[in-house]
Amino acid sequence: MSLFRRGRGGPGRVTVQEAAARTGHAQAAGNGGTPVLLDVREPAEWQAGHAPGAVHLPLTALVTGAGLPAEAQARPVVVICRSGNRSRRAAELLQAHGVEAVDVMGGMQDWAEAGLPVVDSRGRNGTVA
């Protein structure tokens, strides 16, 4: 059975708490089949603050045909953006290409509000831009 419940008409959606649990942010992270958290925000947003261990691929790059980063290949993907709009589109694109993907409702805004870790490009406390 899949980790991701897919509703009709598009990829599934998860809360930030579900995303954190699935990607290992709520506990010690593992590898292999553990889903990867894919942040699809633009570079300035990523540099200001992102989840530790997340992988970065801006939606603009994904739309123009960029492939998944090596860390995200052959793994389920939990897609996050600032509020949940771009991640929904990215999850749809990935799913159309055979990637098991869900998006995170509320995005990094809800992630930070839930008290989950956010780091900047230097590994210090970050902010959601």
Per-residue pLDDT of the chain (129 residues; tens, 9 = 90+): 344 444 445 789 999 999 999 998 764 444 557 899 999 999 999 999 999 999 999 999 999 999 999 999 999 999 999 999 999 999 999 999 999 999 999 999 999 999 999 999 999 999 999
- Annotated catalytic residues are 81
Helix, strand, coil proportions of the chain in percent (round to 5)?
A: 30, 15, 55
Model confidence, pTM: 0.87
Q: What is the pLDDT of residue 49?
A: 98
Q: What's the token pair of residue 93? A: 């694109």
Torsion angle defined by CA atoms of residues 62, 35, 7 and 9, in that order, rounded to the nearest 10 degrees: 10
Q: What's the token pair of residue 118? A: 């956010």
Q: Where are the domains of the chain?
A: 12-113
Radius of gyration of the chain (CA): 13
CATH number 3.40.50.300 given to 12-113: no
